[in-house]
Amino acid sequence: MSLVLHASLLPSWWGKPKPPAPDEPLQVRMMVEPEAKPPPPKPRMAKPSKPRRVTPSKHARPQTTPEPLPPPNPETVPMSMPAPSAPTAEEWQLASTYTPRNGKRYRYAWGQQVRSMMGTAFEGPDQGMVRFRIEIAPDGKLSKVEQLWSTSEAVSRLARKAIENLPPLPPTPSGKPLIFEQTISFLPYETGWPPSYKLDCLPEPLPFNNPFAWNGSSPPDVAKREHRPPPPEGCPPDSTEDTIEEEERSFKRQMEQWRWGR
């Protein structure tokens, strides 16, 4: 009887559904602390490997170490050039008898005489050039000196002092007053080049006259070619013969003047 009673009561509570679970309360976090990460592991230092020996190839070029540059010298010596020697008595004798080209030899000898009395030229503010207009009397005495231009006051002063102390000069070649212009170089790299007397025996060229100019009223002249006579015998004169040495000196002067090949 007890078993039947318990069996009748069992389905009444076994078939009933379970009640739902209560909802969890709402939680709000205002700040979340970051999670601490563990520090990264330290890298291990690699052991130094032994240097490898490189055998040079047969075709490899040997490496040359550049030579060290010399230290700069703060005390540089300025460039200088001593004065040229004065014309000799033989050169003055030849110059006093050289009539072509308005006493060309006499004029050059006069400039060299003045430059030889000016002393050594040093690099710096005292170097320069000066040009004079000179008039020499037939007996060789200086009649007039006029300075045309100068690039240095020191050079002008030295040149004037040398002109005032010139020794007695020979008479002029033509027996007339000799008037010319002369530039005196007081530079540490050149003292003035000697002129060439190669074709001085040829007659003086005629002044330029434009053959194609016409004023519109006079009859036009037909342009004619200038006739130049052949050089006379014995031209060029002695001591200026057309030699290879003279050609070399002339070519060297042109290279130094126009700075060819630099």
Q: Let me know whether 177 and 242 are in one domain.
A: no
Quote the tokens at residue 218. Answer: 């006079």
The enclosing H or E element of 248 equals helix 244-258
The yes-or-no verdict on residue 12 having pLDDT over 60 is no
Q: Let me know whether 172 and 240 are in one domain.
A: no
On whether residue 155 sits in a domain, the answer given is yes
Q: Let me know whether 183 and 82 are in one domain.
A: yes
The yes-or-no verdict on residue 56 having pLDDT over 70 is no
Q: Let me know whether 92 and 174 are in one domain.
A: yes
When pLDDT is averaged across residues 43-52 and rounded to a whole number, the result is 62
Question: Using 50, 70 and 90 to split pLDDT, how confident is the model at 223?
Answer: low
User: What is the reported pLDDT for 259?
Assistant: 65
Pick 80 or 195 by higher pLDDT: 80
Q: Let me know whether 171 and 247 are in one domain.
A: no
Tell me if 119 sits within 8 A of 83, measured CB to CB: yes
User: What is the reported pLDDT for 237?
Assistant: 55
User: What is the reported pLDDT for 177?
Assistant: 95
Domain carrying residue 247: 196-203+233-262
When pLDDT is averaged across residues 117-143 and rounded to a whole number, the result is 94
- Number of domains, the chain: 2
pLDDT digits (tens, 9 = 90+) for 153-190: 999 999 999 999 999 999 999 999 999 999 999 999 88
Please state which of the ranges 47-61, 94-108, 241-255 shows the lowest mean pLDDT.
Answer: 47-61
Beta strands in the chain (DSSP E): 80-81, 121-122, 128-136, 142-150, 178-186
Q: Let me know whether 164 and 85 are in one domain.
A: yes
When pLDDT is averaged across residues 61-65 and rounded to a whole number, the result is 63
CA angle at residue 51 from 50 to 57, to 5 degrees? 145
On whether residue 70 sits in a domain, the answer given is no
% of the chain beyond a pLDDT of 90: 39
> Residue 112 sits in a domain of what CATH number?
3.30.1150.10
Q: Let me know whether 241 and 182 are in one domain.
A: no
Domain end residue (candidates: 135, 157, 188): 188
Q: Let me know whether 183 and 237 are in one domain.
A: no
When pLDDT is averaged across residues 211-219 and rounded to a whole number, the result is 77
Cis peptide before 82 (omega within 30 of 0): no
Torsional class of 101: left (φ above 0), alpha (ψ -120 to 50), beta (otherwise): left
User: What is the reported pLDDT for 16?
Assistant: 53
Q: Give the DSSP per-residue string, 158-200.
A: HHHHHHHTPPP-PPPTTSS-EEEEEEEEE-SS---PPPP-TTT
pTM for the whole thing?
A: 0.59
The yes-or-no verdict on residue 17 having pLDDT over 60 is no
% of the chain beyond a pLDDT of 70: 61
When pLDDT is averaged across residues 59-86 and rounded to a whole number, the result is 74
User: What is the reported pLDDT for 189?
Assistant: 86
Tell me if 172 sits within 8 A of 106, measured CB to CB: yes
